[in-house]
Each structure stands twice: as C-alpha cells, then as structure tokens.
Structure 1
Amino acid sequence: MASLTGHISIIVLVLLFGGSKANPAAPSHSQLDVNRKKPLQTFRPYNIAHRGSNGELPEETAAAYLRAIEEGADFIETDILASKDGHLICFHDVTLDGTTDVANRTEFAHRKRTYEVQGAKVTGWFVVDFTLKELKSLRVKQRFSFRDQRYNGKYQIITFEEYILIALYADRIVGIYPEIKNPVFINQHVKWSNGKKFEDKFVETLLRYGYKGAYMSEDWLRQPLFIQSFAPTSLIYVSNMTNSPKVFLIDDTETPTQDTNQSYYEITSNAYLAFIRNYVIGIGPWKDTIVPPKDNYLGQPTDLVARAHAHNLQVHPYTFRNENSYLHFNFHQDPYVEYGYWLNEIGVDGLFTDFTGSLHKYQEWTKPYPKKQKKAEALLHEIANMLKNDGY
C-alpha cells in the first residue's frame, strides 16, 4: 500500500491512517497549485471510480480513493449521508451493518432500530442514530465475501470534507462525483439549525471548497464536479444554489423514484428528458436497463442512449465489475470486452466501475492521450522505414 501515498500531502496521510478527528480548513490556492497539475482528460469517456477502487479495497475509504487516483480515475465517486449530529459522511447504505463492524460492537447493541426506507421496513444500525465520533470509532470491511478481505478493520468512515481533500491534494486534477443519498430519509431523521436541509449542507460544503461553475467552464476544469442523485426534486432544489453539472441517476425498471414515486418508463420518456435537461447535464442509468439481458446474455439495446444524446444529455451507466458473476456471457469472462462494447458500440460518455485500473488500462490501449498516440505513431513510422530500408 505504500505507493498510494507517494504524491499525497501530509493531511491526506493523516486521514488515511485515522488520525484526524476535526474537519480541516479549506485549502488555499497556493496549496492546490492547480496551474501546475496535469489537467483532467476530456477527450474520451470518463473513468468514474465507483466508491473508490472498491474492487480492491473497502468502499468509500481514503485508501480506496487514493488507489483509484493512483490507477488513473478521472473522477472519484462517493455517496453522502449525514450523522446524528449533522456531519456529512461518505457512506453508501443508511444502515451500517453491511460494511462495518457495528454488529460486533457490544456498546452499540441497543442502537438497532427499524425504520421505513423508500416504502420498506428496514432493520439495522442506522447512520442517523450515531454521532460522527461514534461513526469514526467503527472500522470498515469489504462488502462482498468473494473480494479481498485482508484490509477489513484497517480503515474508518471518512467525512465529505476529507473526501474532497483527497481529490484536491492529488498530484493531478481529479474530479469528484458525490451523490445526495437518500435525501428523503435523511431530512426526516436529521435536523439542522435555521431550517437548513440536507441538500443545503451538501451544497454549502462544495462551495466552501471552491467547487463551482458550469460544465467545461474554467472554474469547473480547475475543480471538476458532477452532483448526482436518484431524487429529481433534490437535483432541482440544488440547481437554485449552484450551476455545477448534475446527473440524474435512474434505478431498475421496477423501482419508482424515492421522492416523486414516478416509474422508470415515465422518467425515461422523451417528455421527461426534455424537462429534466433544464436541471441536469446527464443521466446515470443502471446498465441492464440500457441493454436488458436474458438468461445472462445481452438482449437488444434500447434507444435510451440515443434519445438522451438527442436531448444533449450525457449517459454515465453503472456499475461495471470484473468478476465473472457480473459479466454477461457475451463477454467471455473478459471485462475489457465489456468496456469495448459499451464505449464503442453503445457510445456512453462515462462508466462507473469498481475496478478503475482495468478501465484505465483499456482506454490507454485503445485511446491514449494524444501525445502518447503521436509518439506511438512516430515510432511505428520509424520502424516501417527501417524495415523498408532493410528490404522488407
């Protein structure tokens, strides 16, 4: 793991090894020195590190994000929830059971609760019943039993601000891609002063750290950001506070929107795409709704990508994973074949992947940075001339 910290500042090292308990102040321009950093690539689809490089390391941890940056991610993606005392944290589930050691912590045994979440009764230890200090005392584990378990118990939950600092202190420009997660549930259970909502605190944090500007603006290129959510009302609400680009996430065909109770077919209609484009720059659908499979073989692609592009919306599908259990038979257990299909045949604008390094390698092989491409072409031309001169 030592290579993860080669070009990261002391503040991120502190975060990685769990020594920070306070939220540090926003970094100054001189600290970031963005003018000297390698810029974000914008000539090929985005490599979006889904919860960090979580195929290798426990999700949503500093280590997973650092690994993703090291492996070539364009954006590091995270889910934002809130603690009992109103701190924003990076965590996917509203319950702590699946990816922490909370069930083994006897001091928290009495905290188990049952709440309604998106219309269903859920029992477990909920993020909203724990203070930030208590959450920091937990240790994170790998979600899937078939992935590497060696790093279980080594890392802690990080805050939204700590996640931002990991991106800002990287040795190149790395974008962030935070999700306003379960806003209906969070606003029901966490209250802030002055009538503030979860979405208000979310945007205030981004603005405090300098994230602003429309897509491809100078400000955006200095600190790239996509704001995402499954809740269209949240995206519309935050549009009044920031012009940073937003992406509307779309669940499977059976799941209605959590805030407006709209069906998949309604929110993917031409009329709705025409409406939501006033607030978002793209959509993030589950990939199996774009190309529905049958018996683990790909079916006929829908026209969703073409229709989204016709409305000038980007398409960033989720989630791409290397394991055979997630690869349709058409790809012959080869994730690179899957990447090729989605990038070249379906023509998406970015991919959420658990294995950032794999996607980066594929893109470097097939569409390298222009300078590398020119060098490769020059070398091939030189070799051809040498062979020609030698009589071949």
Structure 2
Amino acid sequence: MSPSRPLVFAHRGGAEALPEHTLAAYVRALDEGADGVECDVRLTRDGHLVCVHDRRLNRTSNGTGLVSAKTLAELDALDYASWHPAAATEDLPVEHTRLLTLERLLDALRDRGLGVRLLIETKHPSRYGADVERRLVEMLRRYGLAEPVPDDPVRVTVMSFAALALRRIRTLAPGIPTVYLLEIPPPGVRRGRLPFGAKIAGPSIGLIRARPNLVESLRAAGHGAYVWTVNREEDVNLVLAQRVDGIITDRPGFVIDRLEKLPPV
C-alpha cells in the first residue's frame, strides 16, 4: 500500500468477521494486512483494564451487569464468542475468545514485532473517572510505550469522546498522540480547533456526510482525521475523496482490498 493511502484500523479487532474484542479478531485483522487495530478499555472492580465496549456485559457475553462492578476473575469466567455468528462456523481456540485484557493484547501485538499501531479508546463516563487514564499510562510505562519512539513494536494512540480524558493523557504522558472523537461537533471544531492539544480528530462517518467541509477545515488547521466506522463501499469512496489519514472499520479486509484496487497515486 502506498504511503499516501490512509491507514486502516480494525475497529474492535474487526467486529464483523469474528467476535469483537477477542484475540481471534485482532490476529485475523493483522493477518489481513491492517495497519493497526482499535480497542476500548474499561476498569474492572479490582483495577484491571479490559477490552469491552459496552458498560454492560449483556450484548457480547453470556453475563449480565456492569463491567465496572465485576472483578477480573468474574469477567474471565464468561463466554465472549458464542453470541457471534462466526462461533457456529469457525473453529476458534478458547484462548483466543476469552476475555481480552489490555495487557494480553499488548503482549500479542508486541510479539508480532511489526510496528503495529494501536488505538486505545478510554470509555467515559466511568465510576472510576481519572483512574482509567492513570492506570492506562502506568501500563504503557511498564511496556515502554508512554514515550513513543519510531521503532516501538507497538505505537499507541489514545482516543476519547471526553476532552478531559485527553487532557489527562496530555498531562500524564505528553508524548502519546491523542484523537478527539466526534459525533456531534462542539463549538470551534467546525473551524478546525481541537481541545487540549489533540492533533487528530476522530469524526464519525455520519458527521462526515453531514459536514462535508469538516475534514478540509481540520486539515487547514494542521490536524489529521481518523474516521469511524467505515464499512460500506460508498463510505470508503467518500473518505478517500476527503483524503483522510485513517479509516477505522469493522471490515479491514474489505477496505484494504478496495484500496489495493485504486490506481497508483
């Protein structure tokens, strides 16, 4: 893929083909050629960072209740794969479909040794508030990833819809790039301004459709744009026309195939 092409990130590991936030999904996405992957993190009751999108367990496991009210051991006892159609057709190793902690994901990505990009979204509101970012930065420091260098085996960027979360990251680890996620733009963003030192905007594909000049305004202000969640061919075409920097998708293989069919630039 040409360097001028946008980066392709597997949303929740590539949530269409395999159960989201499972190691199986992340491995598949990287094997398909994704430049990076995206995950959401939440804190458990006993202070562990786990990769689960929803506040509640009901949709993507056989458990119920709040993620934040469970211990790591309680969460690890649940089934995170059988809800997905792929569970009936693919022979997925149990080790690749159990609860995914951020630590296990970092280990798996580091072991690949390919300079994988990892987008980590901190989920808010959370009963643990600033502890989410503090625990995250502590873990990244343990892995030597809080002060990025070009040859890191994993290159981390932190994302959030919460501007205060990005401010905490900037204070705790100013070298980590941040993405300000957008679904409804606050005042100033339409003129290209982002809060608290964020250099990359993360608008939804719906917002791009509604405000076709947004990416141009961001670019004029010196900001990049990673767009989510881009799954349809017409949306791939739209963001390519907008010359975005990153495409976050549930279908990384599909998007990569579309990009590879483009004429050289």
TM-score (norm 2): 0.88
Matched, 1:282 2:206: no
- 1:307 counterpart letter in structure 2: S
Distance 1:161 1:316 in 2: 25
Q: Which has the higher contact order (CA 8 A, sep 6+)?
A: 2
Determine which structure has the larger helix proportion and give its number: 1
Which residues in structure 2 correspond to 1:1-392 (within 5 Å)?
42-103=3-64, 125-141=65-81, 147-150=85-88, 154=94, 155-170=97-112, 172-182=114-124, 184-187=125-128, 197-213=131-147, 218=150, 222-242=153-173, 243-251=175-183, 253=184, 264-266=185-187, 268-270=189-191, 273-274=192-193, 276=195, 279-292=197-210, 301-321=211-231, 327=232, 335=233, 337-343=234-240, 345-366=241-262
1:283/1:367 Cα in 2 relative to 1: closer, same or farther (>3 Å)? farther
Distance 2:237 2:193 in 1: 29
Shift of 1:149: 4.5
Distance 1:138 1:86 in 2: 18
Contact 2:116 2:153 in 1 (8 A): no
Shift of 1:167: 1.1
Structure index of larger Rg: 1
Question: After TM superposition, which residue ranges in structure 1, 4 or more long, deviate above 4 angstroms?
Answer: 151-154
Partner-residue secondary structure (3-state), 1:224: strand
Contact 2:80 2:99 in 1 (8 A): yes
Distance 2:47 2:153 in 1: 29
Identity %, equivalent residues: 28
Q: Which runs of 5+ in 1 are unaligned?
A: 1-39, 104-124, 189-195, 254-263, 293-300, 322-326, 328-334, 374-392
Q: CA RMSD in A?
A: 2.5
Partner-residue secondary structure (3-state), 2:134: helix
Distance 1:281 1:84 in 2: 32
Distance 2:200 2:33 in 1: 22
Deviations 1:58-99 (A, max 9, x none): 000010000011011111100000111011101101100010
TM-score (norm 1): 0.61
Deviations 1:214-260 (A, max 9, x none): 6xx535x6532211011001101110121111000012x3xxxxxxx
